Structure 1
Amino acid sequence: MTNLATNLTTTAARMPDQDALRVNGQGVTYGQLHQMAARVAGALRAHGVEPGDRVAVILPNVPAFPVVYWGVLLAGGIVVPMNPLLKAGEIDYFFTDSGAKIAFVWPDFVAEATKGAENSGTRVVTTGAMGPEDFEGGDAIADPTPREDDDTAVILYTSGTTGRPKGAELTHRNIHLNAHRSAEVIQEMTSDDVVMGCLPLFHVFGLTVGLNAATVAGASLALIPRFDPQAAIEVIEKERVTIMQGVPTMYAAILNHPGSDGMDASSLRTCASGGSAMPLEVMKAFEEKLGCMILEGYGLSETSPVASFNMPDRERKPGTIGVAIPGCEMRCVDLDGQEVPVGEVGEIAIRGDNVMKGYWNKPEATAEAIPDGWFRTGDLATMDDEGYFTIVDRKKDMILRGGMNVYPREVEEVIYQHPDVLEVAVVGMPDELLGEQVAAAVALREGSQATPEDIIAFTKERIAAYKYPRRVWVVEALPKGPTGKILRREVRAPSA
């Protein structure tokens, strides 16, 4: 295996008439996808893109995304997927840092991208639903340009909790192996499957576990340009979706949407959840209502992404992120990098063929993240005697209240049990006496009458005295990242 695009050419040769993509009832076959990508690859070469050059992709979940993604890889380039909602200043940083020569951009975002390209000189190419507009030339490149296993295939910028985002360099081998394991071991995916493509393809979960895994298996990817619970419900029914992949807020949104009451979800076989911890109440209610199983796993941009999962052929332990996948080792370590005993809290460290090559042009950050061959995730967890990991919290999110550790996730699990609570984020607030105090922002279900005092009293009855929130405030909605993951770091308490 060298160039990742070999997965596309192999599947296209094996089953050219199979639908690779499904959008609004229309199909794009693997044969068509290969031809369109080959034309993009030829045009890239004609416009000066050589192997190893970076090409940015600023597109929603439309067929053009896979077309240009595979086109860049066929040409031997490096794909730099970017969130379409970025502003000019952020785009400037991504373009300049990556040195992107060309950017394929959705028409709605062209003005912002053009402004963001002024310093880097990146060429902005307007790209419609099926591919680039006015971008022709060169002979189609149907055979993948030779690359080495350790050559970078994709640079994924991580949403830095501190400072500027860093570009995680994922190699052809990283993504190839992770996609294979996602398809075969976790989802048991075959060419008969229809995969729900509601995760953004510019995000590592949607890119590897969705697009790349479906291509490896020859499955069909049913795309939703932007996640919306009503659209998701319709696609599950119309396309007879067998595998859904999502973050917990997506499952909660479908569950709480009136359209899910009578929906036909009989085709759904497996649901994979990642990105953040799945509240047990949401998992139980979703499975009961739609009659399917949710398998929860864990990963990061830096690990291609999948590191652990509840496997279909092993006991599922709800509330855990499962066991390390083949080719990957995980352990919980203390501040000195020493493994902690079973059942004790430590930072998850990961080693294996899924761990990134490093951060693009940031050797110091790479050395800090991977000091001894083990990637430090910043996530705190425990491991049981069967190798199942349970996330306790982000190292940075832990609240230190009067010398006692409070893990927001644990408090959130209790608050989610309140029948009026739709979403919650528990955060630390400065406290003169205790250093930090526990606080919570909640979004309530429509028409509910619960007050902050009710929620405090409810939580106080069910959790240790030092853990329950002393302050609760109600918000319309919680801040979320591109995949719909709740962003605790952006939760702000009202000043009053």
Structure 2
Amino acid sequence: METVKTLNALGIGRNDRVAVVLPNGPELASAFLAISSGATFAPLNPAYRANEFDFYLSDLGAKALIVQPETDTPAIAVARHHSIPVIELSPAVEHLAGTFSLWGKEQLLPSHGGFAQEEDIALLLYTSGTTSRPKMVPLTHSNLVTSAGNIAATLQLTEKDRCLNVMPLFHIHGLVGAILSSVMAGASVVCPPGFDAEKFFAWLDEFQPTWYTAVPTIHQAVLSCAAAHREMLRRRPLRFIRSSSAALPLRVMHQLEELFGTPVIEAYGMTEASHQIASNPLPPGTRKARCVGLPAGIELAVVDNDGNTIRSGQTGEIVIRGATITAGYTNDTKDNEEGFRHGWFRTGDQGYLDADGYLFITGRFKEIINRGGEKISPHEVDEVIMDHPAVAQAATFAVPHSALGEEIAAAIVLRQNATVTDKEILEFAAQNLAAFKVPRKVFIVDEIPVGPSGKVQRIDLAKRFGLTNSSQQTEGTRAKFVPPRTPLEKKIVKIWAQLFGLALIGVHDNFFDLGGHSLLAMSLIAQIEKNF
């Protein structure tokens, strides 16, 4: 109540957009709850640079910027350049965690003051923007409360639960998946200043949470530091672990369950749905591997290219509708026309429903690799590579190729003290994947780049490794496609086409540029010996 009165005195009322640049912690969590009660909360990543703040503050049309006193952030200078008032949020260190006060210059009272209404915009977030310009997603109080209630019901949260939030609070996963779902259940939340793998186990010991939720990259970091903490984990058991926002590798799931002795619940969510869309149930409900579970409080369907619902087991686009879905992107007519069809929101994700109604995600359409007409899910290749005992993390991605359109590459991080060569990884993949799915290149790296929310940035990996120029990928390949002309050429091309899983192969194509490797060469020789 006090925060809403203060905001009104500062000229800020319902649906006024307030940009918030604060470090992760209890003050940011309570600021989300308090500010959204009387205005629109728009958190921004504190790590942004001046040009990024310039874009977001301008695009938001922010009525004010909230920062902590003596904060060294370029957001302040940018706000002043745009004549946006700066409000200081001061933590009340002598009071309970999360208590704060606001200070700024008083303005004329807004005409729309007081507490927010059900359909007012509570939260404005931007999509990650890995494949296009970031889109502004408005979510109402009704959207958020419904989603938080769905999550609390799925996880069977009660006032006895305590969540350890390690997700950033400028992202829907942390704000709704951890904070708001706990508040809805009358439970408590621990809000450390961001994820720290070394401190994670000390937080478990000190605060004794009953669960935590994170992205797979954080789960993998937890596993990398787990060996020295097994005794403590026996003393501080968790009720469950939740994973969302990206596909959880099966090996990571099994390792977490073995380490913590508790079920791992994989869920599926996105910003436009106020987070949760589907989730595996807690025991004794059935959990399925490589699956994101059952629809959780909303309607879900899988459709073909024309928007027609398809049968279970068939792969298509995942579409959703219900009370948690945003009404549409702000000031973005084109994306709204493309994103909504026949009352359904198009997620852009590809998947299928099994006979029991469980959802399996096979990839994201914009990340699917089109290698000479064959469609490859990078998640499938990730899973296979991660089965190698030396591999801790893997991210498969597309690189341009002048002959095939796109070729496959993978970046991997090795497990501690493990050694392996890129050739050995390629041979392992070739033993477990169809030839056309085997990466042509493997990069062994110290870490795989992720975005602010912890998602792997597949779209940027080709650029990072200098693989964006297709002419560089196909040195010596055909300048012009030449089809087979003689019976002998046609017979040989047919063998190549079967081996590579490609429909179109010319007589000047290069074996290695098409993805050939030593194991495939052996198969090629065997086929030639058999046919000639």
Q: TM-score, normalised by structure 1?
A: 0.87
Q: Which residue of 2 aligns with 1:127?
A: 89
User: Residues 478 and 366 (structure 1 numbering): CA distance in 2 closer, same or farther, change over 3 Å?
Assistant: same
Q: Which residue of 1 aligns with 2:285?
A: 314
For the residues of structure 1 that align with 2:14 and 2:178, how far apart are their CA atoms? Answer: 25
Stretch of structure 1 that moved more, 167-176 or 156-165: 156-165
Q: Which residue of 1 aligns with 2:28?
A: 65
For the residues of structure 2 that align with 1:419 and 1:402, how far apart are their CA atoms? Answer: 31
Are positions 1:365 and 2:335 aligned together? yes
2:73 maps to which of 102, 107, 111: 111
User: Residues 410 and 123 (structure 1 numbering): CA distance in 2 closer, same or farther, change over 3 Å?
Assistant: same
For the residues of structure 2 that align with 1:410 and 1:467, how far apart are their CA atoms? Answer: 9
User: Residues 109 and 446 (structure 1 numbering): CA distance in 2 closer, same or farther, change over 3 Å?
Assistant: farther
Higher normalized contact order (CA 8 Å, seq sep 6+, divided by chain length)? 1
Q: Is the 8 A contact 1:64 1:132 kept in 2?
A: no
- SS for the counterpart of 2:73 is helix
What does 1:241-280 align with in structure 2 at a 5 Å threshold? 241-257=209-225, 258-265=227-234, 266-280=236-250
Q: Which residue of 2 aligns with 1:95?
A: 57
Letter in 2 for 1:44: L
- SS for the counterpart of 2:285 is coil
Q: Which residue of 1 aligns with 2:200?
A: 232
Stretch of structure 1 that moved more, 43-52 or 103-112: 103-112
Are positions 1:489 and 2:488 aligned together? no
Extract unaligned runs of 5+ from structure 1: 1-37, 139-143
Q: Which residue of 2 aligns with 1:429?
A: 399
- SS for the counterpart of 1:330 is strand
Q: Which residue of 1 aligns with 2:157?
A: 189
User: Residues 134 and 77 (structure 1 numbering): CA distance in 2 closer, same or farther, change over 3 Å?
Assistant: closer
Q: Is the 8 A contact 1:329 1:352 kept in 2?
A: yes
**Identity in percent:** 35
Aligned-pair Cα RMSD in Å: 2.0
What does 1:164-179 align with in structure 2 at a 5 Å threshold? 164-179=133-148
Q: Which residue of 2 aligns with 1:6?
A: none
For the residues of structure 2 that align with 1:163 and 1:400, how far apart are their CA atoms? Answer: 19
The alpha carbon displacement at 1:389 in A equals 0.8
For the residues of structure 1 that align with 2:267 and 2:102, how far apart are their CA atoms? Answer: 39
For the residues of structure 1 that align with 2:354 and 2:125, how far apart are their CA atoms? Answer: 32
For the residues of structure 1 that align with 2:185 and 2:438, how far apart are their CA atoms? Answer: 47
Q: Which residue of 2 aligns with 1:458?
A: 428
The alpha carbon displacement at 1:216 in A equals 1.2
The alpha carbon displacement at 1:128 in A equals 4.5
For the residues of structure 2 that align with 1:201 and 1:157, how far apart are their CA atoms? Answer: 13
For the residues of structure 2 that align with 1:491 and 1:162, how far apart are their CA atoms? Answer: 12
Are positions 1:211 and 2:182 aligned together? no
For the residues of structure 2 that align with 1:488 and 1:107, how far apart are their CA atoms? Answer: 37
Q: TM-score, normalised by structure 2?
A: 0.81
How many corresponding residue pairs?
Answer: 451
Are positions 1:448 and 2:411 aligned together? no
Q: Which residue of 1 aligns with 2:97?
A: none
Q: Is the 8 A contact 1:51 1:77 kept in 2?
A: yes
Q: Is the 8 A contact 1:110 1:124 kept in 2?
A: no
Letter in 1 for 2:296: I
Q: Which residue of 2 aligns with 1:287?
A: 257
Q: Is the 8 A contact 2:46 2:73 kept in 1?
A: no
Are positions 1:383 and 2:363 aligned together? no
Are positions 1:399 and 2:362 aligned together? no
For the residues of structure 2 that align with 1:63 and 1:136, how far apart are their CA atoms? Answer: 25
- SS for the counterpart of 2:320 is strand
Are positions 1:323 and 2:294 aligned together? yes
Q: Is the 8 A contact 2:321 2:345 kept in 1?
A: yes
Q: Is the 8 A contact 2:410 2:443 kept in 1?
A: yes
Letter in 1 for 2:290: G
Q: Is the 8 A contact 1:254 1:260 kept in 2?
A: no
Q: Is the 8 A contact 1:98 1:360 kept in 2?
A: no
